[in-house]
Structure 1
Amino acid sequence: MTAVWFVHGNIADGSGDNPFPADVCVSDDVITQIGRAPADAATVELDGMLLTPGLIDAHVHLGLSSPIRAQFGFQLSIAELAADIFANAGHALDAGFTTLRDTGGIDRGVVEVLEKGKVRGPRVLSCGPVQCQTGGHGYYGAAWEPTEMWESHHLPGLVALSLMSGNADELRRNVRESFRRGATFLKLCVTGGVVGGHDHLGDTQFTVEEIAVAVEEARARGTYVTVHAHNNAGIRNAVLAGVRCIEHGTDIDEPTAELMSEHDVALVPTFAVINQLMDVESMDLDAATRDRVSGVRERMAAALKTARSAGVRIGLGTDLIGPHQERRGEELRLRAELESPMQALVSATRDNADILGIGDSVGMIRVGMRADLVGWRKDPLEDASVFADPNMAALVVKAGRIMKGDAR
């Protein structure tokens, strides 16, 4: 094994402890030592940079990387859709994100191309298409179009936005199909959403019994279910059905937060997308979207505080859509305003890794962990706006390989 030492940096290891000066030895793709490099070691000079674990985005939609109205109107070529997906994957890596959890939209082919290194990007965990109730959130076909035509818009190997289920049997068939096509976890929509076609935020979708079918199928494969959910009724249904995680959680109240904590159900809030959706013109969205998103940020911030007080595990996700996803680290800046830069970092590293079920290999700078590292030109714990600027991620290492930055 070839050992390389990253030297003369300060380490914020993902635990929440104060940074400390140390060198990090990487052999192949694993961290093998943390201490001081021997005099004759092969080194990469950090020049006092803060070294953090590679960031993790727990709520990504690479399959929605093109102008939204044009994509939903099926006006774009497969080549353009693919180009936009892989461009955003590269942007994520350059912003310091070495792992993404894609919560609906890409097909297995995208994951495999990234795994093989044919294009630059983070590693990706994918649920494949989102599981949606017939006529619920996640369906963007025309009102006159029969539901069964929706899947004809999928592009095998590239994009499959969602699958529609009218009952528990259809849901079981669809989740089994998703696993067959390479999903490593499941995502359901159990309430309406902000960028909705035929639904409202207050809607609840799928029954407890239906959600439990997906949980049963996921557990049979050693994995889990996460759910898109804004209102308390939908969240409580999902918790009682046995899901692992809630995405968004906009209106979580104290009783719901206590229920989540009791069942060890995590929360992944998503603030960056709210700011993004307010600019409906640049996002090429219907003006009604601005009305739907009004007040969501304030309510989500209150839900974050309530969940934290109840002891809920809280991760971090961006939920960015469209072609402008270069500043993925904006989510950490926004979270730092509500909590602290260190808490934002921990949520984006150790806590996200634990929620995703990969905390034994990524999310912290520890001996035996995979060597996912980011070196920052300025200290983001002193100024969280550094997280939001991809140019501040001077060095990005994924599984021991320098993906951005010049080794010296």
Structure 2
Amino acid sequence: MWLAGAIVVDGSGRDPVEAAVQVEDGLITRVGGAPPAGADVLDCSGMTLTPGLIDAHVHLGMSSSIEASLAGRVPVAELAADMFANCARTLDAGFTTVRDTGGIDAGLAGVVASGKIPGPRILHCGPLLCQTGGHGYLAPEWEPSAVWDRHEILGLRSLSLLCDGPDEMRKNAREAFRRGAGFLKLCVTGGVVSWHDKLSDTQFSVEEIAVAVREAAARGTYVTVHAHNNAGIRNAVAAGVRCVEHGSQIDAETAALMAEHDVAHVPTLAVVRALLDDATAAGLPAEIAVRAEGVWQGQIDAIHAGREAGVRVGSGSDLIGPRQDGRGHELVLRSQVEDPMTALVSATRVNAGILGIEDETGTIEVGKHADLVGFAGNPLDDPKLFADRDRVALVIQHGRVVKDRR
């Protein structure tokens, strides 16, 4: 199959070029040249072809109203239906790979991988690891922590495992891997969507975090951390983590420390914008927006601090609740903070490196998986196209056309 006539933006940051792309057996086998006579040609004239987009911070397990689902007021069938629909919409928006950073059971990733429902390739950590009363522990104050595991839905959703002390961290890290996790996610500071903490809180000791890092390293993988304040981030860096999610208070000193230890940063602007606009749309109390107020500018400042220090800056949306249609809005917002090309590279090549799949995807080059998106128009000229699913005219996932609205 040849894709011909498009302007190719290959994800490397190089200038766009008009080139044909050949796909065979799910792989990109040639970039440039002309299709031979009789070749199977997809006419992509007027389109911009990019690598498949990667969202490095999703929560597919939180696809329904948050408070209602935690209170048991949403039937399991509806929870599953909402997750399946979210997967399909994500792929339809041009995201061929996502990293789920807490909340799904391996069953969801498996059913998508099997082809039974449409969706992106899902890399996941299963349940995130948090301390009692920390971020990720969403039980009401009156509920004993001993019954938190009753919120799990086996085979579908597992929000978090409670870890207090190095021994519990070791046990639950191993349990997460037993359940199919590909990496570990820890919460090392308070968060915005939290019931029991403040953004200024630090959570887990360096020793506890280091236990998780050792368990991940034993399996050839890594730890990423939910973190806002610098004290928690510095604890995580000292313990050996690979990545920081959100990082809304990263300053120049912390950014330099992250760069020194090659710790990446995945900002998440889209969820903050959504919560500031209307937290109730996610099934959350309106006052959550107050907790998000300082996080918006904080993440923007952190992006600039990271760039100046040489930190790898990826891209994640972190959308939660039933309204996750605007996953590409993260790239629109990042285009405003930096520029469209930088936003695209963060959501393709850089994200692939952070996820450890840079040899497979993230750029349009020979030998990579044929994960490709064709936009009707040029998102580098009009970044709003990143969030317009109607202008995502073509999606190819591992060599298979999964959307074609040319």
**Any idea what SS the aligned residue of 1:237 has?**
helix
**Mapped partners of 1:175, 1:212: distance in 2:** 11
Deviation at 1:288, TM superposition (A): 1.9
Alignment RMSD (CA, Å):
0.9
After superposition, the C-alpha distances for 1:167-220 in whole angstroms (9 at most, x for unaligned) are: 110011001000000000000000000010111101000000100000000000
1:17 aligns with 2:14: yes
Aligned to 1:350: 349
**Any idea what SS the aligned residue of 1:403 has?**
strand
Aligned to 1:178: 176
Deviation at 1:378, TM superposition (A): 1.1
Gaps of 5+ in 2: none
Deviation at 1:72, TM superposition (A): 1.8
How many equivalent pairs are there? Answer: 404
Aligned partner of 1:382: which letter?
D
Moved more, 16-25 or 31-40: 31-40
**Any idea what SS the aligned residue of 1:15 has?**
coil
Aligned to 2:79: 81
**Mapped partners of 1:188, 1:295: distance in 2:** 22
Deviation at 1:295, TM superposition (A): 2.1
132, 136, 140: which is aligned to 1:138? 136
**Mapped partners of 2:99, 2:16: distance in 1:** 27
**Mapped partners of 2:282, 2:83: distance in 1:** 16
Deviation at 1:59, TM superposition (A): 0.2
Deviation at 1:48, TM superposition (A): 2.7
Aligned partner of 1:240: which letter?
A
**Any idea what SS the aligned residue of 1:294 has?**
helix
**Any idea what SS the aligned residue of 2:348 has?**
helix
Aligned partner of 2:301: which letter?
A
Aligned to 1:277: 275
**Mapped partners of 2:281, 2:81: distance in 1:** 20
Aligned partner of 2:53: which letter?
L
Deviation at 1:396, TM superposition (A): 0.3
240, 243, 246: which is aligned to 1:245? 243
Deviation at 1:141, TM superposition (A): 1.1
**Any idea what SS the aligned residue of 2:316 has?**
coil
**Any idea what SS the aligned residue of 1:187 has?**
strand
Aligned partner of 2:184: which letter?
L
After superposition, the C-alpha distances for 1:230-258 in whole angstroms (9 at most, x for unaligned) are: 00000000001000000000000111000
Gaps of 5+ in 1: none
Moved more, 134-143 or 353-362: 134-143
Structure 1 residue runs of 4 or more that deviate by more than 6 Å after TM superposition: none
**Any idea what SS the aligned residue of 2:21 has?**
strand
Conservation of the 8 A alpha-carbon contact between 2:2 and 2:40: yes
Q: TM-score, normalised by structure 1?
A: 0.98
**Any idea what SS the aligned residue of 1:285 has?**
coil
Deviation at 1:285, TM superposition (A): 1.5
Deviation at 1:283, TM superposition (A): 2.6
Aligned to 2:233: 235
Counting only pairs closer than 5 Å after superposition, residues 44-55 of structure 1 correspond to structure 2 as 44-55=42-53
Counting only pairs closer than 5 Å after superposition, residues 258-407 of structure 1 correspond to structure 2 as 258-278=256-276, 279-405=278-404
Conservation of the 8 A alpha-carbon contact between 1:349 and 1:363: yes
Aligned to 1:221: 219
Deviation at 1:71, TM superposition (A): 1.2
Counting only pairs closer than 5 Å after superposition, residues 67-146 of structure 1 correspond to structure 2 as 67-146=65-144
21, 24, 40: which is aligned to 1:42? 40
Moved more, 32-41 or 269-278: 32-41
Counting only pairs closer than 5 Å after superposition, residues 183-194 of structure 1 correspond to structure 2 as 183-194=181-192
Aligned partner of 1:246: which letter?
V
Deviation at 1:144, TM superposition (A): 2.0
**Mapped partners of 1:203, 1:406: distance in 2:** 48
Conservation of the 8 A alpha-carbon contact between 2:70 and 2:151: no
Aligned partner of 2:315: which letter?
L
Deviation at 1:40, TM superposition (A): 2.0
After superposition, the C-alpha distances for 1:33-86 in whole angstroms (9 at most, x for unaligned) are: 111211221111101311000000000000000011111212111101000011
**Any idea what SS the aligned residue of 2:224 has?**
strand
After superposition, the C-alpha distances for 1:284-317 in whole angstroms (9 at most, x for unaligned) are: 3212201101121111101110111000000000
**Any idea what SS the aligned residue of 2:350 has?**
helix
Deviation at 1:282, TM superposition (A): 2.4
**Any idea what SS the aligned residue of 1:374 has?**
strand
Conservation of the 8 A alpha-carbon contact between 1:138 and 1:197: no
Moved more, 313-322 or 136-145: 136-145
Deviation at 1:134, TM superposition (A): 1.2
Q: Percent identity?
A: 58
**Mapped partners of 1:230, 1:196: distance in 2:** 13
Deviation at 1:406, TM superposition (A): 5.2
**Mapped partners of 1:381, 1:238: distance in 2:** 35
**Mapped partners of 2:246, 2:392: distance in 1:** 27
